[in-house]
Structures are given as structure tokens and as C-alpha cells.
Structure 1
Amino acid sequence: MMKLWMAPAGLHIEPARSSDAEDLARLHQQGFYRGWPREEFASFLAEDATPTYIACDAKRRVAGFAMIRIGGDEAELLTIAVDTKWRSKRIGTALLRATFADLMMSPVRRMFLEVDELNAAAVKLYTREGFAQVGTRKGYYPKADGSAATALVMARDLD
């Protein structure tokens, strides 16, 4: 049985397939200075420990995705990206909530993530969804100008 979750703007969320690697790489390039290549996404999509969820329309045109890594009773949000034309439509919120719902059916009880401290929209989203800062990682994100941004390490319980 296929898992499906509702999303705003007529989209739905479903597990990603290996054939989605190209779309995920394209969206990741839009959102991050150093986007991951298609081959890296293909490798992640082939592993059970890195479930990936896509927000898409009825024709499976991908508007956004979230990828996590599971280890024991913890999960890490590896990355989340939303197509620029779909931003500010609560797609990221829907992706996170679908991820939480799916993880409730697993042994995972806590989720972690890193976020650029200057990415106000993402920090606001994560805070609104119950994440709290638990640490920092100085120089974690490389920037186009050669400097590096600090990452906030955030976590939330899944209960």
C-alpha cells in the first residue's frame, strides 16, 4: 500500500522513488550554494535508512522534498528543499509533518537537523514545528564568497 499525505495547493506527499533523483538534485541546486549531484541522491534513494518524501502534483511533478537518515531511535533531517515557485505555500511544513507522521510508526523518538543561522525562514519553520536549538557548528556551511556560515543544531522529540 502506498503512503500518501495531503499537502497545500492541490499537492500530496509520497515516498520518493529512485527515478526522482534528477528532480531532487535540481531542487537542491536551487536552494543551496553547494547542491548535491544526482548520483548522490540516487545513492541515498537506494538505501532504507534514508527515507525521502516528495511533495508533488497528480502528474508527479516535484514541488519539494525532505530527506532524513534513521539511526536507531533518532533521525536527522539531511535536507529539505522547495521549488522557488512553490515557496511560502507551507509545502515545507507539510513535508515535515508527513515525515513526523511516518516516523511515529517507527522506533524513532527524536529528530535533529542543522540549519544556517542566517536562514530566517527555515529557522522560523523549525521553531514553529517544535524544534529547539541544542548547539552550534561554526564554519559548517560554505558560502560563495569563501566564508562559512554557522549552523544551528536543533532537535525535537517525536511524541
Structure 2
Amino acid sequence: MSGVASLNLPVEFFPMAAGDLDAVAALEAQLQAFPWTRGNFADSLQAGHSVWVVRIGGELVGFSVVMAVLDEAHLLNIGIAPRHQGLGFGARLLRNAMECARLGGANKMFLEVRPSNARAVELYQHFGFRRIGLRKGYYPALGGREDALIFDKDLR
């Protein structure tokens, strides 16, 4: 299914289940040069993180992982299938993650993002996230390590 064709299909959000792990790990492997493993996602489920999938016409096309700590939330991972990017599905998934965190008692959300991921940086800034710091050498990269931009957003 092409991304444009998916615009006419129902978009549904579900809590991630163990049966989604293989599909989510496969999608993550398409998105990242250094992807989370199936075990990383399983650990997030086991830890009770807010872990969601988005389906379009029944097909799993995205996921988000948010860890809550007291009144704060940390967006650990989020992704949309490449053919569905740029069509607003990532924005809907991010909005869902923020709303679930807020309803769960979080007043603030934090995240890290690669400076080279301009599309994600733009999305976060569009949603009112503000850059508050830098983590040097945070991400593995083909040429060694890449820094992470730290963002936060007030959810109240």
C-alpha cells in the first residue's frame, strides 16, 4: 500500500502487544542504522512503558515508546514506515504519545534526537518542544558517535 493510498484507510492506535514485537523490530530495522532490537521493545513492554502501535487499514506502520518517571515522560523511540512519512502520521503518533503521557500524570516530556535527523527536529519544534541541551557522543554512528539534541515540552 502506498502512503498516499493509506490516506483513505482507518488510522488506529493500539497498545503494543507481544504479538507486535516482530513487526515493530522489523520496522525499526528499516528506519535506523543502529536499531533497537526485538529484546529492547520486549523489555519496554515488560517494564510497563507506554508502548503504542499505529495501524493503517490493519497494517502496522508505526510505534512509540514512552517511559514515565514520576511526573515526567521520556520519549524513548518513535517511528513511522518510510512510505508513510511526510503524510502526518508521525505527527498523529507523537500527539498520541504526548496525550497518553499527560493523561498518565506527566507534566513534561523529554526526548533526544540526532542533529542529522532534520525531519524529526522540525516535527518536535512544530509541536513546541524546545532544545535544552546536548549529549556529546550519545548515538552510535557510521563514523563513530553522533551527539544528541535534548528537547523538552510542557504537557500541562
What is the TM-score with the length of structure 2 in the denominator? 0.89
Q: Deviations over 1:7-53 (max 9, x none)?
A: x82322121111111111111111111111112211211222x1111
- Identity among equivalent positions (%) equals 31
Instruction: Verify: 1:151 aligned to 2:148, yes or no.
Output: yes
CA contact (8 A) 2:113 2:148 kept: yes
Q: Which residue of 1 aligns with 2:78?
A: 80
Unaligned runs of 5+ in 2: 1-5
2-structure distance, mates of 1:76, 1:139 = 19
CA contact (8 A) 2:25 2:37 kept: yes
- 1:58, distance to aligned residue in structure 2 (A): 4.0
Q: Which residue of 2 aligns with 1:55?
A: 54
CA RMSD of aligned residues (A): 1.4
2-structure distance, mates of 1:17, 1:56 = 13
Partner secondary structure for residue 137 of structure 2 = strand
Partner secondary structure for residue 20 of structure 1 = helix
Q: Which residue of 2 aligns with 1:121?
A: 119
1-structure distance, mates of 2:73, 2:95 = 14
Q: Which residue of 1 aligns with 2:12?
A: 12
2-structure distance, mates of 1:45, 1:140 = 24
Unaligned runs of 5+ in 1: 1-7
2-structure distance, mates of 1:153, 1:121 = 15
CA contact (8 A) 2:134 2:149 kept: yes
- 1:65, distance to aligned residue in structure 2 (A): 0.8
Q: Which residue of 1 aligns with 2:106?
A: 108
Partner secondary structure for residue 133 of structure 1 = strand
